[in-house]
Structure 1
Amino acid sequence: MLPDLNPRHDPPRLLLAVAHPDDETFGCGSVLAHASSLGWETTVLCATRGEAGEPAPGFDLAGRPLAEHRERELWAAAALLGVTRLALLDFLDSGMDGDPVPGTLCAADPLAVTDAVRTVAEDVDPDVVLTLDAADGHRDHARMRDAAVAVATERGVPAYLQALPRSLMDRWVAHMVTARPEMAHLQYAELGTPDEEVTVVLDSSEHLAVREQAIALHASQTSPYEGLPPDLRRDFLARDHLVRA
């Protein structure tokens, strides 16, 4: 699956470190499904329960906190994607902007975040670490990216960033400016990773159906792929773009 990977374990072990419930599916669902289909052991480490998210229009919280719904959705989607183990940290979601309040991921000492990732990595002993590249502008994604890459470097294992190529993000923004102009992401210039920095492109089209099912399980959240033209949606979901950190 990864051309330069020399795993020390059989089966290989992958650790995915993300900030919020749904990052594992919206961002890395096809990689997880692909690894699982090859018999890999996959661990998802999620830092928060997504408290600062916005419920999808029409979603009924049924009197329960949003975080409770999002955690349930995370467990269900991870199981569908064949995840071997799920680890949840106790940081709070920082939200997109404003001063991060105490207890949130971005208010925490970066060394404390790295230490929390390190503790899980010591138990998992991964052959490769995966995280989001944070090219969507979300500060929590950047915090987890930095911690995950630091821990992978310490352990001497490769780290890969799930990338959003700029060419795709330009097409996404062009559509969203008309379809959903209220989206906070649209305020950020040059979303995405320059295409020339992408080092691995995985054809994950055979896992498209299961990823679509996992996306649907995150019913409390509006998918970033919601309402996209079919060709653009498929270009996002049927290929994975990775950058070697």
Structure 2
Amino acid sequence: MGEDTQATTRAGQVRALLDEPGAVLAVVAHPDDESFGLGAVLDRLAAAGTPVTVLCFTRGEASTLGGEQADLGAVRAKELDTAATVLGVTRTVLLDYPDGDLAHVSLDELAGHVESLAAEVRPTYLLAFDPDGVTSHPDHMRATEAALAVADRSVLPVVGWTLPAQVADQLNAEFGTALVGSRPDVVDLTLPVSRKRQREAIACHRSQSTDNPLLHRRLDLLGDTEHLRLLRPQLLPPPAHERS
């Protein structure tokens, strides 16, 4: 199969997954990841009637933003609930692992939470950040590792949210950040989105979005598109002539 055909097949798989009426389980590290990163995609899914569950591993208490809050973890938990409602998320599950230290938590333990929730939700696929975490944050990478570990055991497909390399490079030049983007040839689907409810959900995360020019600049550069990769493909049945 040629490279162009493979790319078309992967794009078709991602689009087919997004169009499926079945449930979706999003796996993230921090309150606000569901809005700042996945918000426009989750909004699109929920608006189409797809039941969306969000599993978040930490309460985000170690953030350098909103540090004036007496109990930042509690504040961010409430922000998550409010933002999820705006996005039309069906259910959120917030765990209490230490923010910034997910890399030191057993991968089997984290994957166990994903697996247990997936058994309840029965998702068509898992949605996560790209394996590099997009922002290079170790927690983001570990959350995606957990999703991929479950996918490998359960044959669930995994769709990853990524940034175009051009956008990541522009933001790194402007803000001195370490965002990691994807080249056009590894982006499987460019998805038209609306930012309206995503921006409303972002505003719910007041502790993290009030003084966050990087976030708003990213949304401006992305415009009305998001970019997705098929991190684990959907296992298709073998051709008829190969079946016994």
TM surpasses 0.5: yes
Question: In the alignment, which residue of structure 2 is the partner of 1:219?
Answer: 206
Could you state the TM-score of these two structures normalised by the residue count of structure 2?
0.81
- 1:20-31 mapped onto 2 (5 Å cutoff): 20-31=30-41
The aligned counterpart of 1:128 is: 125
Match of 2:224 in 1: 238
* Residue 139 (structure 1) aligns with: 138
Taking the aligned partners of 2:62 and 2:137, their CA distance within structure 1 comes to: 12
Q: Would the aligned equivalents of 1:201 and 1:242 in 2 still touch at CA under 8 Å?
A: yes
SS at match of 1:220: helix
- Evaluate the alpha carbon distance shift between residue 22 and residue 150 of structure 1 in structure 2; reply closer, same or farther with a 3 A threshold: same
SS of the residue aligned with 1:147?
helix
Is the 1:30–1:237 Cα contact (8 Å) retained in structure 2? no
Alignment of structure 1 residues 84-233 onto 2, 5 Å: 84-94=90-100, 104-133=101-130, 134-177=133-176, 186=177, 188=178, 191-204=180-193, 207-222=194-209, 223=212, 225-226=214-215, 228=217, 233=219
Aligned-partner Cα distance in 2 for 1:225–1:212 = 14
Deviation at 1:117, TM superposition (A): 1.3
Deviations, residues 86-145 of structure 1 (Å, cap 9, x unaligned) = 111221101xxxxxxxxx422211111111211111111100100011132110011111
Question: Is the partner of 1:87 in helix, strand or coil?
Answer: strand
Q: Which runs of 5+ in 1 are unaligned?
A: 95-103, 178-185
CA contact (8 A) 1:55 1:66 kept: no
Moved over 6 A (4+): none
Given the alignment, which residue of 67, 77, 88 partners 2:83? Answer: 77
Counterpart pick for 1:4 among 13, 18, 32: 13
- The 2-side partners of 1:123 and 1:67 are apart by 26
Q: CA deviation at 1:4?
A: 2.1
- Secondary structure at 2:182 match in 1: coil
Does the Cα contact within 8 Å between 2:125 and 2:156 map onto a contact in 1? yes
Q: Distance in 1 between matches of 2:153 and 2:104?
A: 24
Between the aligned partners of 1:54 and 1:208, the Cα distance in structure 2 is: 26
Partner AA of 1:198 in structure 2: V
Instruction: Kindly indicate which of the two structures has a greater share of residues assigned to helix.
Output: 2
Question: Once the 2 structures are TM-superposed, how far is the Cα of residue 55 of structure 1 from its aligned partner?
Answer: 2.5
Partner of 2:43: 33
Distance 1:82 1:69 in 2: 20
Letter in 2 for 1:169: A
- From 57, 65, 85, give the equivalent of 1:55: 65
Q: How many residues align?
A: 215
Show the counterpart of 2:240.
Answer: none
Deviation at 1:224, TM superposition (A): 5.6
1:68 pairs with 2:74: yes
**CA deviation vs aligned residue, 1:35-92 (integer Å, no higher than 9, x gap):** 0111000000000000110234xx852xx30001111110100000000011112211
Instruction: State the alpha-carbon separation in 2 of the partners of residues 215 and 237 from structure 1.
Output: 16
Residues 227 and 22 of structure 1, relative CA distance in 2, 3 Å threshold: closer
TM-score (structure 1 length as normaliser)? 0.81
Residue 109 and residue 237 in structure 1: after superposition, are their counterparts in 2 closer, same or farther (change >3 A)? farther
The Cα RMSD (Å) is 2.2
Amino acid at match of 1:81: L
Aligned equivalents of 1:226 and 1:193: distance in 2?
Answer: 18
Tell whether the 8 Å contact from 2:52 to 2:90 is kept in structure 1 after alignment. yes
1:78 match: secondary structure: helix
